[in-house]
Structure 1
Amino acid sequence: MSDAADRTIPDFVPNAAEPVREHLAASTDLATFLRTAGTLTLVERRLIAAQALILLEQNYVHLPLKAAMYAVNPLQRLRLLIHHMERLTPQTMPPEWMFHTEMSEIFHSVRDLHTNYLLPEPFVGKIAFLPFLVERYTDQQGAHFMVTQVAEGFVAPGFTPGVEITHWSGVPIADAVDLVAARFAGSNPEARRSRGVQSLTVRPLRIHLPPFEEWVTISYLDANGTQREFRENWRVVDNLPAFVDADAVSSVAAAQGLDLEADETSRAKVLLFAPRVVAQVQAAAVGEPAPDLRAGEIATTLPNVFRARQVETSAGTFGHLRIFTFSVDDLEAYMEELRRLISLLPDRGLILDVRDNGGGLIFAAEFALQLFTPGRITPEPVQFINTPLNLRICREHQDDPRVNLGAWVPSMDQAVEIGAVFSGAFPLSPEDAANAIGQQYFGPVVLITNARCYSATDIFSAGFQDHRIGPVLGTDQCTGAGGANVWTQDFLTDLLAGEADSPYVRLPKKAGMRVAIRRTLRVLDNSGTPVEDLGITPDELHRMTRADLLQDNTDLLERAGQILQGLAPHAVSITNATAVDGALRLKVTTTNIDRLDVYVDQRPRASLDLVDGQADVTVPDAATARSARVEGFASGRLVASRTEQFQ
């Protein structure tokens, strides 16, 4: 390799972890990368803006809400942009980055992380990064911005996890974060600020404009309190690949609820700061044992989705299950692995942690809820906005098993007469499938959320709270508040492919757009409340501490353990089932149960009060039964349920 080529590789890359070293060696500096950008013609720009107008005017479900809440008019801004471009020529059109800026600002004006303008090549699949991560914590002195991760091999004087950032290119760090946050579309101030912090050092270029600066000057206090400073160039590299193809018409693509920015950033953070996960994914792909497991950690076949481990707190030993994403394309494998992992965790209590989870497959989020509760899950209903184009799409695909749009057609037809803004509300997740497995974990559960929880994770968190599965412990005052099913412009184009009068046209140079197509509504006690912009308010609040950021969430897990300590476990188990003289005899063991109801083949067959937690139940004329379900009650409240299949 020549000396000139050597200088293009950052100093830290030769010392990076082996699973990602070759990947990072292909990175380039921002200035070099941007020389390949700027190839959109004027005709292509006009086409992109015209397609954006169609999506926002005819498909965007939250348009009335956003116009009212934020006093914005993205449709008029697009019409003006199109009008101005009609007067331009290829010689007078402004630089391409100005077009991307205007398009991004229009989409960001609605503050919806589902509804995005996606930059074309060469930005597709790329991330811009600095080789460290900054996170925020608070104490009695206020907010602090601390380095929590440094890419393996990166070295600067006194620059290690724990140093506090004071200035960012000469701007006080808190102000710098607010300036970056103002460019983002979070639905509430905490969500925007959280994303502003994260985007200081990691930016997916598909969804964000590239940094204006080619390098950043970082001012910080080292471990001795000495003020130091260094300059670091932005680098650009291919991100790790996405888990799901959201563009092709399929049941998975139709049921997406994903914050693309969070999904891209999550994969980038794995690449930069968690190479052991990359190694575990590589090992799982070829059936090899997982390398580099930590104390108490359980090996998983889906290391980019789950991390399961046993944690010790002063309140006891509990399970800690991190769900990093719901973005999966094999729902059956995901559910089976989730069931397996929770069966291996301590049964005294579970800390279910979905922080930073940007969502994904709505089925994966809603189907998971049944594993933690004896009650029946009611999936969230969703609504289209009533427009002629949405009605046309639903009619065209009312019998299409891939998208199942038939339920919405009658109410949308009726809207022509009665002027209703939204269609009828129907669940996206089939209710029977959302209850097909039933409860699998019988200890108390606490859910941890933060402001980066979005989309399908908002739906999961709302379902957890609405079904009273357990308390919600938030590290922010609200989740990200993304309540919608999202479709891409490519997906919509394919839905009407082959029709000569389709309004959709494939975008040039892999440009893209996404739109919130169906809004979600909460259920049960919060029935009818939209998730969008409101989010889920936690039952208890824990602000992240310095110890949390540097010592693997020690204070947060301690707080969760204290909550679990005050909650009683309730369990019920069929330990034996035999056929005797034409009857079905069940031996049942329970914990903290005072009444037992028994169902055989979905029919109620027995109910008895318990004294010592044990029961022998004989159900006549049931020797050939296919299933039995026992439901346990405490003080009249359903607290545990177990189903056994016999054939």
Structure 2
Amino acid sequence: MPTTDLPDFLQDTKGTLTLQDRRTLTEQALVLFTDNYVHLPLKTAMHAVHPVQRLRLLLTRLGRQTEQTVDPEWRFHAELASIFHSVRDLHTNYLLPAPFAGRIAFLPFLVEEYHDTNGPRYVVTRVVRDFTAPAFGPGVEISHWNGVPIDRQVDLSGNRYAGSNPAARHSRGLQVLTLRPLITHLPPDEEWVVVTYTGTDDKTHELRVKWQVTENLPPFVNAGELSEAAAAQGLDLAGDEISRATRMLFLPDVVALEAAGGPAPEDLTTVPAEAGQDIPSRLPSLFRARAVQTPSGVFGHIRIFSFSTRDPAGFVAEFVRLLGLIPQRGLVLDVRGNGGGHIHASEFLLQTLTPRRITPEPTQFISTPLNLRLCRRHATNPTRFIDLGPWLRSLDQAVETGAAFSATFPITPEAGANAIGQQYQGPVILITDARCYSATDIFAAGFQDHAIGKVLGVDDNTGAGGANVWEHQLLKALFEEPLPADTTSPYRPLPGGAGMRVSIRRTVRVGALAGTPVEDLGVVPDVRHRMTRDDVLHDNRDLLAEAGRLLAAEPVRRLDATRDASGASIAVHTEGLDRIDVFVEGRPRTSVDVSDGDSTVTVTPAAGAGDVIRVEGYSSGTLAVCRTLADGT
């Protein structure tokens, strides 16, 4: 992994943008904020900001400059980035051009936070291979950062960057202490950092460490292309960049395994895991699955690192495979640090954990003439992967009614969100933090809205990114394809390889919180756990113990079912259920009372060879589990 010291890297970043280039970038930012940005009224109210006026002022200043008097390019980048950051929306970014794009500035260690009786503490948890310093390594506690008490430095750092609520700002402030994606953040102002820490020898030390720059791992999805994956993006780009950099710097074995196409076929076990065993995943950068021993019993633990995929069906299939190999008495589903990705992938997973029908979180555009033109152009799904027809009528009516937003419709197809049904019947606990964002916010909201299980949060709420995000490049392409192109499109090519992203459709909740926006509010956990020293240094020991305690308190319901060849009867095994209802091709056939154990249910008239049978299990009148049986199952 070739690296460059920050000063050497900056020698090659003098910039090539002309004065007209800067005007073009500012004008295009104005188009996004005034005509596309769905959160503008909310952000103006909640954060007392005015990005549109700031952009107009920037244009005015640029109009007074000449090529001889123009500001240094870094100052223009800083101002434009600051305007985007001001709305505290990790979806809405100014993307710096080369050589910043694709690069990460880093210090050779990670810092994490835990709490004890004296409040927050900050310790080193990972160190880059071959980096050494006196009495320095995982477990050393940092007290000061460049002479500033570290808790104060974390808050100062968080206030510089987007984060829609205090928990998200604090978490992001800690994250960017040592990792800065240069596509969304300007390089650090300082060339080195002085860290004060209590070493492994229990003495106080100071370490001066240089910022370095290296090329990051590439993203999973090109969000600027015309594709379903780009149109269904719900991703914190900076968080995703940091996640990839973390794997590259601190988990090179995972990167090598991913580069090799995943584990060899012979390494993919088909035997359920026992306590302490990891289950190799075909997608090691996206999943980690294992059986964990807790004081309350042995449970499954699946970590979902990202929803960034071009293949939602394959993503779900791998999740289902892992579900079949973990203990079936309870699942700890851990999405901490997951910045999102493909919205379909996130919402397709929900059905596998509940017998209830999934209603995807609906979305809406802000009502503007440009969004109306966009929906009208793509109202009949001409490109196959995007159909904006459902939003067209309400946007058209808004001209007369003055409605601020369109009607709400889901991005995720409801049929796909319910195509395979429940695959895991044990109780489930979802673990979240303030770095859960976008598609992961949507997933957590759906988990809570459908009452799948308790949400255990290590922060006060999730990152609160409730939107579908589109890049400027994608918006431009949507006015150019299908042919003929719209020659009156306001989108112009961005000079210098720069980019921009904008929240285009906002999500709102369903269920008990129906209509509540996800943006800025996020998902509030049912139970709060403060990370301990054992958590950050010993693989989440106390966090998993708390999750196990919550799982052990939940009832376990079980329904196994097998149809006979004729389709006239179903052999069932039940636990914790008192009634079974049988549906054939969606129509009710029979309802019988049951008790724990084995029994046979007669289906009259018999189900046809190709008919889908759904067997629902109830406990005290509440739907608890279900099985879907196709031909031969």
Partner of 1:64: 41
Partner of 2:110: 133
Q: Which residue of 1 aligns with 2:10?
A: 34
- Given the alignment of the two structures, is residue 82 of structure 1 paired with residue 59 of structure 2, yes or no? yes
Question: By how many angstroms is 1:230 displaced?
Answer: 1.7
Distance 2:66 2:266 in 1: 60
Q: How far apart, in 2, do the equivalents of 1:201 and 1:290 lie?
A: 35
What SS does the aligned partner of 2:303 have? strand
Quick one: which amino acid aligns to residue 112 of structure 1? D
- Note the residue ranges of structure 2 that are not aligned, 5 or more in a row: none
AA in 2 matched with 1:563 = L
SS in 2 for 1:379: coil
Aligned equivalent of 1:423: 406
Residue 225 of structure 1 deviates from its aligned partner by 2.2
Structure 1, residues 317-363: CA drift from partner, whole Å, max 9, x if none? 00000000011001121111010001000001000000000001100
Matching of residue 520 in structure 1 with residue 478 in structure 2: no
Q: d(CA) in 2 for partners of 1:410 and 1:439? A: 35
Amino acid at match of 1:546: R
More displaced, 35-44 or 323-332? 35-44
Of 299, 319, 330, the match for 1:349: 330
Residue in structure 2 matching 1:644, options 622, 629, 632 = 629
Whether contact under 8 Å (1:592, 1:613) holds in the other structure is no
Report the equivalent of 2:603: 619
* 1:467 maps to which of 450, 467, 477: 450
Distance (Å, rounded) in 2 between the aligned partners of 1:552 and 1:575 = 39
Structure 1 residue 499 and structure 2 residue 486: aligned? yes
Per the TM alignment, residue 588 of structure 1 is displaced from its structure 2 partner at its CA by 1.0
Shift of 1:285: 5.1
Pick from 262, 265, 269: which aligns with 2:246?
Answer: 269
Segments of structure 1 that go 5 or more residues without pairing to the other structure are 1-23
Aligned mates of 1:61, 1:515 — CA distance in 2: 8
Q: Does 1:483 align with 2:466?
A: yes
Match for 2:612: what amino acid? S
Counterpart CA distance in 1 for 2:353 and 2:571 is 23
Counterpart in the other structure of 1:385: 366
Give the Cα separation in 2 of the matches to 1:614 and 1:290.
Answer: 35
TM-score by length of 1: 0.94
Alignment equivalent of 1:610, drawn from 561, 569, 594: 594
Alignment match of 1:456 (pick from 420, 435, 439): 439
* Higher mean C-alpha deviation, range 620-629 or range 543-552: 620-629
Task: State the shift of 1:575 in Å.
Answer: 3.0
Task: From 210, 216, 221, give the equivalent of 2:193.
Answer: 216
Q: Aligned AA for 1:639?
A: A
Residue number in structure 2 paired with 1:375: 356
Aligned partners of 2:466 and 2:189: how far apart in 1? Answer: 32
Do 1:280 and 1:290's aligned partners in 2 also have CA atoms closer than 8 Å? no
Q: Distance in 2 between matches of 1:110 and 1:79?
A: 16
Q: Which residue of 1 aligns with 2:136?
A: 159
Q: 1:541 to 1:285 in 2, by over 3 A?
A: closer
Q: Which residue of 1 aligns with 2:277?
A: 296
Contact 1:578–1:586 (CA under 8 A) maintained in structure 2 = no
Whether 2:624 is the aligned partner of 1:632: answer no
Q: CA deviation at 1:614?
A: 2.6
2:315 corresponds to 1:339 = no
Q: Which amino acid aligns with 2:379?
A: Q
1:565 maps to 552
The answer for the alignment partner of 2:290 in structure 1 is: 309
Measure how far apart 1:617 and its partner are. 1.4
Residue by residue, what CA displacement relative to the aligned partner does 1:471-492 show, whole Å, maximum 9, x if unpaired? 0000001000010000000000
Letter in 2 for 1:261: A
Answer whether contact 1:324 1:357 (CA < 8 A) is retained. yes
Amino acid at match of 2:423: Q
1:237 maps to amino acid = T
What residue number does 2:146 align with? 169
Question: Which amino acid is 1:594 matched to?
Answer: D
How many correspondences in the alignment? Answer: 619
Partner of 2:541: 554
Residue type of the alignment partner of 1:530? P
Partners of 2:47 and 2:386 in 1: CA distance? 32
Letter in 1 for 2:364: Q
Secondary structure (helix, strand or coil) at the match of 2:218 reads coil
The one-character-per-residue Cα deviations of 1:358-408 (angstroms, maximum 9, x if unpaired) are 001100110100000000001011000000000001000111222110000
Q: Which residue of 2 aligns with 1:9?
A: none
Cα offset for 1:224? 3.0
- Tell me which stretches of 4 or more aligned residues in structure 1 moved more than 4 Å: 285-291
Query: What is the CA-CA distance between 1:277 and the residue it aligns to?
Result: 0.8
Q: 2:416 aligns with which of 409, 433, 436?
A: 433
2:3 partner letter: S
Question: Could you tell me how far apart the structure 2 residues matched to 1:344 and 1:136 are?
Answer: 32
Return the letter of the residue paired with 2:500: M
**For 1:287 and 1:411, how far apart are their aligned partners in 2?**
51
What residue number does 2:526 align with?
Answer: 539
Correspondent of 1:588 among 572, 576, 580: 572
The AA in structure 2 aligned to 1:616 is T
RMSD: 1.4
> How far apart are 1:524 and its partner, in Å?
1.1
Residue type at the aligned position of 1:504: Y
Deviation at 1:557, TM superposition (A): 0.2
Structure 1 residue 623: Cα displacement: 4.5
Looking at structure 2, the residues matched to 488 and 88 of structure 1 have their Cα atoms a distance apart, in angstroms, of 29
